């Protein structure tokens, strides 16, 4: 186990496979125009596999494919197959907006993907269109239905809750989760790069969510568990379980074992980190595994990041990165580093 400055292990790697997306979620990609990563910089599947292999030799055992929208990456199931061959990867998951899931779920399952998380913020098609500037709500619901049919267990649905936008749907989403056999996780709206419209008054907090659910369902029991997962989990009186990721009002930085690899091979030690470590360059210059490890290990050992906790201390909390800076370095965007 490689500990960082606060003893947090290097364990959990989120791998963004593309910075492109087929939705334009208000809290992630609100602008009209984006600067994309140069095509020639995007890692091939073999290059991604090589880096993931190196990370797993250093202790990573959980890998999550993300993006942008991971299902936009052509033949992504081929990458899944390559990563699933690595016995050190004990948890291989994907976070997707679900739009292309109905057509790909089976191939992903057959390729060896273990788990799927679908991001879904509303059950109302009109609201979906307003939130994402696209008309694909029906396709997302079909995608959710396809997950179980393909053979996956442990479906999760992630919902970013925004005050005055979809906070009136938390009960409906729990009920939907019961119907489709998914655990719903409510995520607080975060002031990450990309969220250029963020403001604290739009954050619907864990306390707010528990308040609404408690009023409707009655007693809600917290589930006590030892875990580095960001979600606090709770049980309803009927036994249904849901989670809350209170990343804005009660961040979990002290337990955070996750880092992020962008589609062009930059490694970020925190969602809020302004600088990353370039692993593509040494990889393409044919550095040996040991040489690449010699970049990763001291990088992690020196990690002091507690981005969300530091944001919490700010008195006048505004948008993290202004649009101009995002355009100058798209690596600062949430859709580039994978959420």
Q: Give contact residues for ligand SAM (rule: CB under 6 A).
A: 21, 27-28, 66-67, 69, 95-97, 119, 158, 160, 187, 189-190, 192, 195, 334-335, 338-339
Applying CB under 6 A, does 165 fall inside the site for ligand SF4? Answer: no
Residue identified by tokens 């990165």 is: 321
Using the minimum distance from each CB to ligand SF4, give the nearer residue, 77 or 158: 158
Cβ-based nearer residue to ligand SAM, 253 or 334? 334
Q: At its nearest, how many Å lie between ligand SAM and the CB of residue 58?
A: 24
Question: Does the protein bind ligand SF4 through residue 128 (CB under 6 A)?
Answer: no
Could you tell which of ligand SF4, ligand SAM, none binds residue 195, using a CB distance below 5 to 8 A set by kind? ligand SAM
| Residue among 137 and 296 whose Cβ is closer to ligand SAM | 137
Would you say 93 or 190 has its CB closer to ligand SAM?
Answer: 190
Among 70, 335, 336, 337, indicate the residue that binds ligand SF4 (CB under 6 A): 335
Q: How far is the CB of 125 from ligand SF4 (least distance, A)?
A: 16
Residues 238-297 within binding reach of ligand SF4 (CB under 6 A): 251-253, 256, 258, 270-272
Interface region with ligand SF4, contact rule CB under 6 A, candidates 16-24, 39-47, 211-219, 237-245: 16-24
70 sits near ligand SF4 (criterion: CB under 6 A): no
Output 158 or 183, the one with its CB closest to ligand SF4.
158
Output 276 or 339, the one with its CB closest to ligand SAM.
339
SS (H, E, C) the chain: CCECCCCCECCEEEEECCCCCCCCCCCCCCCCCCCCCCHHHCCCHHHHHHHHHHHHHCCCCEEEEECCCHHHCCCHHHHHHHHHCCCCCCEEEEEECCCCHHHHHHHHHHHCCCEEEEECCCCCHHHHHHHHCCCCHHHHHHHHHHHHHHCCCCCEEEEEEECCCCHHHHHHHHHHHHHHCCEEEEEECCCCCCCCCCCHHHECCHHHHHHHHHHHHCCCEECCCCCCCCCEEEECCCCCEEEEECCCCCCCHHHCCEEEECCCCEEECCCCCCCCEECHHHHHCCCCHHHHHHHHHHHHHCCCCCHHHHHHHCCCCCCCCCHHHHHHCHHHCHHHHCC
Please give the residue ranges that form the binding site for ligand SF4 (CB under 6 A).
Answer: 21, 23-25, 28-29, 67-69, 97, 119, 251-253, 256, 258, 270-272, 305-308, 335
């Amino acid at each position: 186990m490689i500990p960082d400055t606060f003893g947090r292990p290097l364990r959990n790697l989120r791998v963004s496979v593309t910075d492109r997306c087929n939705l334009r979620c208000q809290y992630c990609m609100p602008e009209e125009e984006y600067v994309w990563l140069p095509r020639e910089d995007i890692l091939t599947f073999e290059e991604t596999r090589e880096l993931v292999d190196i990370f797993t030799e250093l202790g990573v055992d959980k890998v999550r494919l993300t993006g942008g929208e991971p299902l936009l990456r052509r033949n992504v199931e081929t990458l899944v197959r390559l990563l699933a061959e690595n016995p050190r990867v004990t948890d291989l998951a994907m976070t997707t907006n679900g739009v292309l899931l109905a057509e790909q779920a089976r191939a992903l399952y057959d390729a060896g993907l273990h788990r799927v998380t679908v991001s879904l913020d509303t059950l109302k098609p009109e609201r979906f269109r307003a939130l994402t500037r696209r008309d694909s709500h029906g396709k997302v619901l079909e995608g959710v239905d396809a997950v179980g049919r393909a053979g996956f267990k442990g479906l999760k649905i992630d919902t970013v809750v925004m005050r005055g936008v979809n906070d009136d749907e938390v009960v409906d989403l729990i009920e939907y989760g019961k119907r489709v056999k998914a655990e719903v996780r409510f995520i607080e709206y975060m002031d990450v790069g990309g969220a250029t419209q963020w403001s604290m008054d739009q954050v619907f907090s864990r306390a707010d969510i528990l308040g609404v659910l408690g009023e409707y369902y009655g007693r809600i029991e917290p589930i006590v568990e030892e875990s580095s997962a960001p979600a606090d989990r709770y049980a309803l009186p009927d036994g249904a379980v849901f989670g809350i990721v209170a990343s804005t009002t009660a961040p979990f930085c002290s337990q955070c074992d996750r880092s992020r690899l962008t589609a062009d091979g930059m490694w970020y030690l925190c969602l809020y980190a302004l600088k990353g470590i370039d692993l593509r360059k040494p990889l393409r210059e044919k550095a040996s595994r040991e040489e690449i490890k010699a970049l990763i290990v001291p990088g992690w050992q020196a990690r002091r990041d507690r981005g969300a906790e530091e944001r919490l201390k700010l008195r006048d909390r505004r948008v993290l990165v202004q649009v101009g800076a995002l355009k100058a370095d798209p690596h600062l965007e949430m859709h580039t580093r994978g959420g």
